[in-house]
């Protein structure tokens, strides 16, 4: 148990303010000030009105957002007596010791409060001290009961001159006992969220005010680039940048002179220190630009307007009362740069990029894929502005009704979770869902309505001009002979996709090395050799099917039912055999004709088949 007292008073004329130690989280700062100081500043008025001041405040939010720092700063500003309780200081091995520590803490706070000095009991990580009842041991139940009793007795003295405030913090608000969250205990709950760009700028100013910065360092630009960083991350970022400058000073011949912290130092620090809230989830800002994609000019323009404008010009949307697009579906043949377009959009918007695929979401454990999906959306909200990208979206959002057993499949549960999360984006800001598929007809119709995938864009195979641009992009790093005519190659590769053109360029280089391992140039004959051996995977019929997807309602409607027939179809029995370890007494079981048969020996299989 940690205790501390501050010499400041409520009438210190504003000599020290909490803003000197913390930045951002203004709502939590205001609530703490009101909770601690208002009962003392307005004690006469509250007695006349018979007002009972609230005595409990719960701060919740991701780790590192400054919950503990806020409490300490306000306590110092108000000159209050602080008692800090944490799991390691409360939990004891012997029965009754933990309850005694709680009683002593409340008794000490009450004794200071009777002297006219506000007392604050701060319980850090309260979810570990008072967890939900369904996950508690007997010791936790006794400890929770003691805390309930002490908080209730503190509430009964809320009209007296003694003033004891209980503040608790947690990053798992759903893990604490619901009985603590009722009125009379923790009357007020404040979410301490990840800082906005303006708050990140204030935090960076706070942590760099004693550092020697180069004049070229722009803290406003740095704050804009640190999406998802919390206060602790920004502190670590500044520390790492200072260490980088110190290393340069010690390694260089500067005669012991300390270097200023430069933009390069902060770039190096950002490569080491990332946002802690996104750890455990694949998140990045892709290093793919629009220039890396040949052709598709109109499509890139539409994506820029749909992705970059809401994130970079959100005030313009608010001014006109226009809701930004929440979801974009890219569909088209395989290899036509759908994934690359999504990554380029994320890079251009400088947004956190969360990428998910069907392989990550489908798990052998029930509910694990849905939990990963919910967790990704939660972290995307914290790291906003952010883009959630679903590759091969037809796997995650497959059309419902395909299960013959009538039970809910893994895909249907994932789809239900995805629909719920996308509907929740209406209240969130700076989050966009991007999806790509080459089987748009397999996606459930519920996702295609406005409000979910507002914009559906067809990514066609490249035309002549686009093929030339793609060839130019993929040969700019190669040593190509001047006799290579990219325009002619583009004309000879009709129906080729972008991926196939990229493969053509790589294979031409391999052919040149096969011909002569010491070759210095890739010549026209090498390209022609590869072209003669390749055949496009696409056909005109495929392209017509993709391009008519949004034009033909039948392709977007529910899957057609199977045709009925008056003729009886002979039932075909299917045989499934699963082998399992012999230590269990059987070698496996067999499903045949809707019946289950346990197999105790290999010769059991033909006997079962003969009997049926």
Given 145, 167, 191, the domain boundary residue is: 191
- Same domain membership, residue 365 and residue 442: yes
Are residue 154 and residue 219 in the same domain, yes or no? no
Instruction: Note whether 168 and 308 are same-domain residues.
Output: no
For residue 348, tell me if it sits in a domain.
yes
CATH number at 482 reads 1.10.8.60
Beta bridge partners of 83: 3, 121
Among candidate residues 209, 210, 204, the one with its CA nearest the CA of residue 234: 204
For residue 179, tell me if it sits in a domain: yes
Q: For the chain (length 612 residues), average pLDDT per consecutive 10?
A: 60 64 83 80 78 83 88 86 90 84 90 82 90 74 86 65 81 86 85 87 90 89 86 92 85 63 90 77 68 84 87 80 86 87 84 80 77 85 84 82 56 85 77 88 84 87 89 89 90 89 91 90 90 87 80 50 41 47 46 47 49 50
**Angstrom distance (rounded) from CA 301 to CA 307:** 10
54 plus 145 within the same structural domain: yes
Cβ neighbors of 9 (< 8 A, separation 6 or more) are 79
Same domain? For 263 and 411 the reply is: no
Q: Is residue 555 part of a domain?
A: no
Q: Let me know whether 154 and 293 are in one domain.
A: no
Q: Among 157, 191, 225, give the residue marking a domain's end.
A: 191
In a domain, 564, yes or no: no
Nearest to 158 by CA among 43, 273, 306: 43
Domain match, 180 and 258 both: no
User: Is residue 507 in a domain?
Assistant: yes
* Burial tier of 333 (Cβ tally within 10 Å: 0-12, 13-18, 19+): buried
CATH code of residue 366 = 3.40.50.300
Evaluate whether residue 406 is within a structural domain.
yes
> Any idea which residue has 């790492």 for tokens?
240
* C-alpha separations of 342 from 348, 354, 403, 504 in Å: 10, 11, 32, 23
Position 586 scores a pLDDT of 43
Q: Rg of the chain over CA atoms, in angstroms? A: 32
Same domain, 410 and 288: yes
**49 vs 46, 53, 389, 433, CA distance in Å?**
5, 11, 56, 52
Q: Is 560 in contact with 545 (CB distance < 8 Å)? A: no
Q: Are 356 and 295 in contact (CB under 8 A)?
A: no
Assess if residue 549 is contained within a domain.
no
Q: Look at residue 30 and tell me if it is in a domain.
A: yes
Q: Examine the fold and report which residue of 279, 295, 315 is the final residue of a domain before the chain moves on.
A: 279
Identify whether residues 453 and 349 lie together within a single domain. yes
| Number of domains within the chain | 5
**Token reading at 157:** 């003295």
DSSP one-letter code for 295: S
CA distance 16 to 10: 11
Same domain, 88 and 125: yes
Judging by DSSP bridges, how do beta strands 56-60 and 188-191 pair with one another? Answer: parallel
3-state SS class at 412? helix
3-class SS letters over 230-274? CHHHHHHHHHHHHHHHHHHHHHCCCCCCCCCECHHHHHHHHHHCC
296 and 376 in a common domain: yes
Cβ–Cβ under 8 Å, residues 508 and 515: no
Task: Give the Cα separation of 194 and 232 in Å (integer).
Answer: 11
Q: Can you list the pairs that 241-248 forms with residues at least 24 positions away whose Cβ atoms lie under 8 Å? A: 241/265, 241/266, 241/268, 241/269, 242/211, 244/268, 244/269
Q: Is 146 helix (H, G, I), strand (E, B) or coil?
A: helix
Specify the pLDDT at position 406.
45
The whole-number pLDDT of residue 281 equals 56
Q: What domain range is 598 assigned to?
A: 575-611
Residue 334 belongs to what H/E stretch? Answer: none
At 122 the pLDDT is 93
Q: Could you tell me where the DSSP H helices lie in 383-435?
A: 393-396, 410-424
d(CA 143, CA 180): 12
Do residues 306 and 406 both lie within one domain?
Answer: yes
Cis peptide before 457 (omega within 30 of 0): no
Q: Which residues of 555-577 are buried (b: 16+ CB within 10 A; e: fewer)?
A: eeeeeeeeeeeeeeeeeeeeeee
């Amino acid at each position: 148990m940690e205790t501390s007292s501050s010499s400041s008073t409520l009438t210190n004329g504003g000599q020290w303010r909490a803003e000197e130690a913390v930045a951002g989280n203004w709502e939590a700062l205001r609530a703490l000030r009101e909770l601690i100081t208002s009962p003392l500043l307005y004690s006469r008025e509250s007695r006349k009105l018979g007002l009972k001041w609230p005595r409990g405040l719960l701060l919740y939010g991701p780790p590192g957002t400054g919950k503990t720092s806020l409490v300490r700063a306000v306590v110092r500003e108000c000159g209050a007596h602080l008692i800090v309780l944490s799991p390691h200081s409360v939990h004891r091995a012997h029965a009754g010791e933990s309850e005694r520590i709680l009683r002593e803490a409340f008794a000490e706070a009450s004794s200071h409060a009777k002297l006219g000095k506000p007392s604050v009991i701060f319980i850090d990580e309260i979810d570990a001290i008072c967890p939900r009842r369904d996950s508690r041991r007997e010791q936790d139940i006794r400890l929770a009961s003691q805390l309930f009793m002490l908080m209730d007795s503190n509430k009964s003295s809320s009209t007296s001159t003694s003033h004891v405030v209980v503040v608790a913090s947690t990053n798992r608000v759903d893990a604490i006992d619901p009985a603590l969250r009722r009125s009379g205990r923790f009357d007020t709950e404040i979410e301490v969220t990840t800082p906005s760009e303006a708050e990140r700028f204030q935090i960076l100013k706070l942590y760099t005010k004693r550092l020697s910065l180069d004049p070229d360092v722009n803290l406003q630009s740095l704050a804009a680039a640190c999406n998802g960083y919390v206060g602790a991350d920004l502190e670590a970022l500044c520390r790492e940048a200072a260490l980088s400058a110190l290393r340069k000073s010690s390694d260089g011949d500067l005669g012991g002179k300390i270097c200023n912290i430069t933009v390069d130092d902060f770039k190096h620090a950002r490569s080491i220190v990332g946002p802690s809230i996104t750890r455990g989830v694949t998140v990045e800002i892709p290093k793919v630009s629009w220039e890396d994609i040949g052709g598709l000019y109109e499509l890139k323009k539409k994506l820029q307007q749909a992705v970059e404008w809401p994130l970079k010009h959100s005030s313009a949307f608010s001014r006109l009362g226009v809701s930004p697009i929440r979801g974009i579906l890219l569909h088209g043949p395989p290899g036509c740069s759908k994934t690359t377009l999504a990554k380029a959009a994320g890079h251009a918007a400088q947004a956190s990029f969360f990428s998910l695929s069907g392989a990550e979401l489908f798990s052998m454990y029930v509910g694990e894929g849905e939990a990963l999906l919910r967790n990704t959306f939660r972290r995307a909200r914290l790291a906003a502005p952010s883009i959630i990208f679903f590759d091969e979206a037809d796997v995650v959002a497959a059309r419902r009704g395909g299960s013959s057993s009538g039970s809910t499949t893994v895909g249907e549960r994932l789809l239900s979770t995805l629909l719920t999360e996308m509907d929740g984006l209406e209240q969130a800001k700076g989050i966009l869902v991007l999806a790509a598929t080459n089987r748009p007809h397999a996606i459930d119709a519920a996702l295609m309505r406005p409000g979910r995938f507002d914009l559906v864009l067809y990514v066609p195979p490249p035309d002549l001009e686009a093929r030339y641009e793609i060839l130019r992009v993929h040969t700019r790093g190669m040593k190509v002979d001047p006799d290579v005519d990219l325009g002619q190659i583009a004309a000879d590769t009709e129906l080729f996709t972008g991926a196939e053109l990229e493969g053509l360029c790589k294979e031409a280089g391999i052919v040149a090395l096969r011909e002569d391992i010491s070759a210095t140039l890739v010549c026209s004959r090498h390209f022609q050799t590869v072209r003669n051996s390749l055949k496009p995977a696409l056909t005109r019929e495929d392209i017509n099917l993709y391009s008519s997807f949004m034009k033909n309602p039948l392709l977007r409607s529910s899957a057609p039912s199977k045709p009925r027939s008056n003729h009886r179809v002979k039932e075909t029995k299917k045989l499934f055999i699963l082998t399992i370890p012999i230590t269990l007494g059987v070698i496996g079981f067999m499903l045949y004709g809707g019946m289950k048969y346990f197999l105790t020996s290999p010769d059991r299989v033909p006997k079962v088949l003969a009997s049926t």
